[in-house]
Amino acid sequence: MTETTPAISVRDLHKGFDSNQVLRGVDLDVNTGRSLVVIGGSGTGKSVLLKCIIGLMRPDRGTIEVDGRNISRHTESDRRYMTRMTGMLFQGSALFDSLKVWENVAFRLLNAEKKSRKAAREKAIECLGQVGLSPEVGDLQPAALSGGMQKRVSLARAIASDPQILFFDEPTTGLDPIMADVINNLIVDRVKALGATAVSITHDMASARKIADEIAMLYQGRIIWRGAPDEIENSGNPMVDQFVHGRAEGPIKMAVRKS
Amino acid sequence: MNIFALTGSLTIEGLRETGRMANFAGRGALSGILGPFYWRAFFSSLMRIGFTSLPVVGLTAVFTGAALALNIYDGSLRFNAETFLPQILSVSIVRELGPVLAALMVAGRCASAMAAEIGTMRVTEQIDAMSTLAVDPYKYLIAPRIAATTLALPILVLIADIIGIYGGYLVAVYGLDFSGPVFIRNIAEFIENRDTISGLIKAAVFGFLIAVMGCYYGFRSRGGAQGVGAATRTAVVAAAVAILASNYVMTSFMVEF
């Protein structure tokens, strides 16, 4: 990747479901080696944006370029290109519950890269160590782990193939504040160690401040503000201000029916 | 909406669903042919679908064979044709009851399990995760299940045929005073290869349909536990209907040739 080409470039991205237009022209650049956090309320299209970028959803309109390559046509070749370059941590961890923890971490190595079980297991144990889990955890089933441990395993799985771009979907949702901070630290640590570009979505402001080089806010299908974490308190944008401070009153109206 | 518009929209949606299902089945089968083929997933499915279905298929077959022998004997007594019991029993089981009953039992056990497992994977984003890990879910989840069920059903049906006939044999020999050796010789002389082969062809088609229904409804499930529950229910009903309808179509071809 070059200095001038952003790792990810999104232009005029539109995506809707029946009559519900979720993304209405998103423009977004993420430079190589930077960590961008997209914040926004529930239902504003953060997950849809992430799934469009990673190739799990086909956008209705607009372009997505990764390292200068247009991947918005959603072809098989685009899919292969993206899966080769990226890793993702899912909101609910999305571990395969029929496989052991180490087989989850080594899933890509075993099934896509066709590594031997011995080599894949060694790499999986190494990745588990990088997220603070002991080798014994590798032989457990995912159902035997706590939510925080499952997130760590999911992070280990995402980094197992040394991806150039990492995506984090609500990485701290459902965790207590201490475990959330542990996960945030691990994300910062692993992204730096890999020298990767990171895109995260969250509505957890503590997490956003910790892991972001830049924060962007998505509202009504568009990016309405973007800046450094220390600028967000004085963004000058009333919607960002309301979201950051978690106020019910303000320009963002929630659809709550009063009896 | 008037009755014509309703009929039209239901027909169009039915055709659309059939097209989606055919597309899914084709993609699933083709994924297995083009490879890579996940042998570990295949053998695991073969074990779960084939081996663990043996007790229920065997029990169904033995009781069906026994009851069928009694019914054939009782019916054929009316025109003094009770000596044909072994022939009628064997052709009924090998051509029709063996494949259909075994398939219905496997559909109840396995189409529901496939829909529930794949549906849960869908709603918990495990299928999305698989895609991001450079593994095609059609190749890893669908193709091994289709191959395993298509292979397992003929083997199960062959076993069900033998057990079903044995159930009839027990009733005939120990309850109706038939001679054991004569019973077996009559069946051996009467049954033709095409009877057995037609039953096994039916079984393979039923196996394919069971896997497609289970996987298709699981793969398309949405909306949490309720969605998975609905997918499971629909998969079993669709598999049973597909078995019975395709059985008629195949039988009508097979009796002509």
What's the average model confidence in pLDDT over A122-148? 91
CB–CB contact B125 A107 (8 Å): no
Relative to beta strand A165-169, strand A197-202 is: parallel
pLDDT at B77: 87
What's the average model confidence in pLDDT over A122-137? 90
**DSSP tag of A174:** T
Return the closest-CA partner of residue A111 out of B41, B135, B141. Answer: B135
What's the average model confidence in pLDDT over B89-110? 93
Return d(Cα B83, Cα B91) in angstroms, integer: 14
Q: Which of A4-13, A181-190, B35-44 has the highest mean pLDDT?
A: B35-44
Ranking A7-11, A98-102, B80-84 by mean pLDDT, the lowest is: B80-84
pLDDT tens digits along A187-199: 888 888 888 899 9
3-class SS of residue B100: helix
Q: What's the CA dihedral at B80, B83, B85, B88 to 10 degrees?
A: -90
pLDDT at B20: 93
What's the average model confidence in pLDDT over A98-108? 94
Please state, for a pLDDT cut of 70, what percent of chain B lies above it: 99
B72 against A2, higher pLDDT: B72
User: How many Cβ atoms sit within 10 Å of the Cβ of residue A178?
Assistant: 9
Return the closest-CA partner of residue A201 out of A17, A23, A3, A11. Answer: A23
Q: Which residues of B touch A107 (CB under 8 A)?
A: 130, 133, 135
Q: Hey, what are B180's tokens? A: 């054991």
**First vs last C-alpha separation in chain A:** 56
CB–CB contact A94 B133 (8 Å): no
Q: Which residues of A touch B132 (CB under 8 A)?
A: 54, 56, 83, 86-88
Q: How close is the nearest chain A Cα to the Cα of B128, in Å?
A: 7
* CB nearest to B126's CB, from A55, A91, A96: A96
User: How many Cβ atoms sit within 10 Å of the Cβ of residue A84?
Assistant: 14
Average pLDDT, chain A: 87
Contact A102, A153 (CB under 8 A): no
- Per DSSP, chain A holds a count of helices (H) and strands (E) of 9, 10
Return d(Cα B239, Cα B39) in angstroms, integer: 25
**DSSP tag of A245:** H
Return d(Cα A77, Cα A87) in angstroms, integer: 17
pLDDT tens digits along B103-135: 999 999 999 999 999 999 999 999 999 999 989
Q: Which residues of A touch B128 (CB under 8 A)?
A: 51, 56, 90, 94
Domain A8-245 has CATH 3.40.50.720: no
pLDDT at A4: 64
Q: Hey, what are B85's tokens? A: 């019991």
Return d(Cα A243, Cα B5) in angstroms, integer: 48
Relative to beta strand A8-17, strand A61-66 is: antiparallel
pLDDT tens digits along B205-254: 999 999 999 999 999 998 888 899 999 999 999 999 999 999 999 999 88
What's the average model confidence in pLDDT over A167-179? 85
Contact A222, A190 (CB under 8 A): no
SS3 readout for B15-27? HHHHHHHHHHHHH
Question: How is the beta sheet containing A35-39 ordered, strand by strand?
Answer: A86-89, A165-169, A197-202, A35-39, A214-219, A222-227
Please compute, for residue A230, the number of CA atoms within 13 A of its CA located in the half-sphere on the CB side.
0
CB–CB contact B132 A86 (8 Å): yes
pLDDT at B212: 96
ipTM of the complex: 0.86
3-class SS of residue A21: strand
pLDDT tens digits along B145-162: 999 999 999 999 999 999
Average pLDDT, chain B: 92
Q: Above 50 in pLDDT, residue A2?
A: no
CB–CB contact A56 B140 (8 Å): no
What DSSP assignment string belongs to B146-211? HHHHHHHHHHHHHHHHHHHHHHHHHHHHHHS---HHHHHHHHHHH--HHHHHHHHHHHHHHHHHHH
Q: Where are the domains of chain B?
A: 39-254
Angle value at C-alpha A134, between A113 and A209, nearest 5 degrees: 85
What are the residues of chain B with a beta carbon less than 8 Å away from any beta carbon of chain A? 36, 38, 117, 121, 124-126, 128-135, 140
CB–CB contact B135 A112 (8 Å): yes
Please state, for a pLDDT cut of 90, what percent of chain A lies above it: 34
Q: Which residues of A touch B121 (CB under 8 A)?
A: 96
